[in-house]
Amino acid sequence: MSGSLVIAGLGPGAEGLVTPQVQAALAQATEIVGYGPYVDRVAARPGLTLHPSDNRVEIDRARHALEMAADGRRVVVVSSGDPGVFAMASAVFEAVEAGPKAWRDLEIKVLPGITAMLAAAARVGAPLGHDFCAINLSDNLKPWALIEKRLRLAAEADFAMAFYNPRSKARPAGFGRVLEVLNEACNDARPVIFARAVSTPEEVIRIVALPDARPEMADMRTMVLVGTSATRVIERNGAPYVYTPRSVPE
């Protein structure tokens, strides 16, 4: 039996946002590999072995998945959201490049998923309706100076921004510095969307002006979206709509 490796995105949380392509891959798998809470989203069944692991062992997890695929098993590595956005796809290919040459001949497929960034944007309207960028605010794998540089350049270019991993217990001060940088660079009241646990029963959406944004409004389950200088808020009965126009005046 020839093995295979699929790297699949489970979406932001709601079962209905898992693509049919990913559902089919999960149904055919013999092994599920991933961070514990993501593996927990896959239902146990006969013939399927679950391999949960800690959040900071991505390369070890990738190697384990590749070894099982090389051994003839049908392996699915799961990530939340999309596996190519700050998730496991890069770790798997990093392991392939550094590993045995035989791993390069494995059948490896990346199946996209709906990211928290896109799910959060959809909840409020279209804040990413024009040019935007995504920045991972964790400094575990890159220096803080680089994060701050990218923040300033993105603000200078007037991109809408999506922030992953904004604030954790291990680095509670970092997001406060992010807000300081944005207020210095933007100097306006563009909207900031805090979308926590989007698409799950615990979902909370908050929209505030940039000067009113506070560090405690975010945690590791929060996606933060920052509008451009042109992003509009449409007030209405109920939650407002937020959108960024499709065109920019000359």
Average pLDDT over residues 21-34: 97
Average pLDDT over residues 204-209: 97
Residue 141: per-residue pLDDT:
87
The string of pLDDT tens digits covering residues 41-86 is 999 999 999 999 988 899 999 999 999 999 999 999 999 999 999 9
Element (H, E) at 7: strand 4-9
Q: What are phi and psi of 104, to 5 degrees?
A: -70, -20
Helix and strand tally (H, E) in the chain? 7, 13
In this structure, what token pair is assigned to residue 13?
């949380």
CATH architecture label of 4-114 = 3-Layer(aba) Sandwich (3.40)
* Residue 1: pLDDT over 60: no
Q: What are phi and psi of 53, to 5 degrees?
A: -150, 175
The string of pLDDT tens digits covering residues 168-200 is 777 777 899 999 999 999 989 999 999 999 999
Residues 210 and 183 sit within 8 Å (Cβ to Cβ): yes
Domain boundaries, the chain: 4-114, 117-243
Residue 64: per-residue pLDDT:
97
* Residue 246: pLDDT over 90: yes
pLDDT band at 2 (very low <50, low <70, confident <90, very high): confident
Q: How many residues does the chain have?
A: 250
Residue type, 42: V
- Regarding the domain with residue range 117-243, which homologous superfamily does it belong to in the CATH classification? Tetrapyrrole methylase, C-terminal domain (3.30.950.10)
Q: What are phi and psi of 38, to 5 degrees?
A: -80, -40
Q: Where are the alpha helices (DSSP H) in 45-142?
A: 58-70, 88-98, 116-124
In this structure, what token pair is assigned to residue 63?
């190697």
Residue 140: per-residue pLDDT:
86
What is the pTM assigned to this prediction?
Answer: 0.92
Q: Do domains 4-114 and 117-243 have the same CATH topology?
A: no
pLDDT band at 34 (very low <50, low <70, confident <90, very high): very high
Could you tell me the CA-to-CA distances from 19 to 71, 117, 132, 155, 176 in Å, in that order?
Answer: 28, 16, 24, 33, 36
pLDDT band at 146 (very low <50, low <70, confident <90, very high): very high
